[in-house]
């Protein structure tokens, strides 16, 4: 279901790119090419950028052996390469995974998560992060980012007089493409991010075999989310829980959130564990 939803959202974003190019009079291939070049570079260096921006340091031998043992066990169980392990000095319990493929991946955890969660909960969280690597979510995010970048590029160029808008296109269509398309692409991209989180919850709970442990971990992480963790908003979507939640406002928060509500994630995990539908 999550795969179908992600595919549908990516298809919708592709249609949005084509509509924007046609409405603003841009060469579609050229716009996609520039977006592809930018995101190709980001695809290969995104891990380094994410780790550097969160001030993560590589886990030393003999340090936090429990994390290393859990990851090693789960990776062997799934026949996956062992990812590099990093730690972030922060009281906020959180974790994220990055890497363009299983052979080039990394998992980072905060010092706070190791103080708050028990071993079963830690296993649930780390299984969730391995799921992002296994499901190649970084690749999916890169494709979504490439399409969104193409729309943003065309809108900005149109603002500075680019494009060929003398082909009889109705002004309302141009206005929609100029203003609404970038907003719509952002909303779709965030929806893809939330869908991938649901997918990682489901796959992760299957890997660990304990959906309730992950549900408990998410509740504890939510409880301690007010502890500050200042990170670049560009990498906040990588974390298991939004690290900027304590800075977020209300209103349209759900629509523009990188993560689904914790309450809904916990409900789905409990439903998976028991087979009983919770409302």
Q: Annotated catalytic sites, by residue? A: 129
Region of residue 55 (left: phi > 0; alpha: psi -120 to 50; beta: else): left
Distance CA 208, CA 189 (A): 28
Question: Judging by DSSP bridges, how do beta strands 104-110 and 57-58 pair with one another?
Answer: unpaired
Alpha-carbon distances, residue 98 vs 29, 65, 114, 133, 171 (angstroms): 29, 21, 19, 7, 42
**HSE, side-chain direction, 13 A CA sphere, residue 91:** 5
Q: Angle 258-263-268 (CA atoms, 0-180°, nearest 5)?
A: 95
């Amino acid at each position: 279901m999550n795969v179908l939803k992600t595919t549908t959202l990516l298809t919708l974003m592709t249609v949005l790119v084509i509509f924007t190019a046609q409405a603003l009079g841009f060469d579609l291939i050229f716009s996609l090419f520039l977006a592809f070049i930018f995101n190709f570079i980001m695809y290969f260096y995104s891990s380094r950028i994410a780790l550097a921006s969160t001030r993560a340091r590589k886990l030393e031998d003999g340090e936090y052996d429990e994390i290393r043992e859990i990851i090693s066990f789960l990776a062997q169980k799934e026949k996956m390469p062992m990812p590099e392990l990093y730690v972030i000095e922060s009281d906020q319990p959180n974790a994220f995974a990055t890497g363009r493929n299983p052979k080039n991946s990394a998992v980072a955890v905060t010092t706070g998560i190791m103080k708050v969660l028990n071993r079963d909960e830690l296993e649930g969280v780390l299984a969730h992060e391995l799921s992002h690597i296994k499901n190649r979510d970084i690749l999916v995010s890169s494709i979504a980012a490439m399409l969104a970048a193409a729309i943003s590029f065309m809108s900005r160029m149109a603002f500075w007089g680019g494009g060929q808008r003398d082909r009889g296109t109705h002004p309302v269509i141009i206005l929609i493409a100029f203003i609404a398309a970038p907003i719509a692409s952002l909303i779709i991209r965030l929806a893809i991010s939330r869908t991938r989180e649901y997918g990682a919850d489901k796959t992760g709970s299957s890997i660990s075999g304990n959906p309730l442990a992950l549900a408990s971990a998410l509740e504890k992480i939510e409880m301690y989310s007010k502890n500050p963790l200042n990170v670049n908003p560009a990498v906040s979507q990588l974390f298991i829980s939004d690290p900027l939640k304590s800075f977020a406002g209300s209103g349209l928060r759900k629509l523009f959130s990188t993560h689904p509500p914790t309450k809904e994630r916990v409900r789905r995990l409990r439903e998976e564990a028991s087979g009983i539908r919770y409302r």
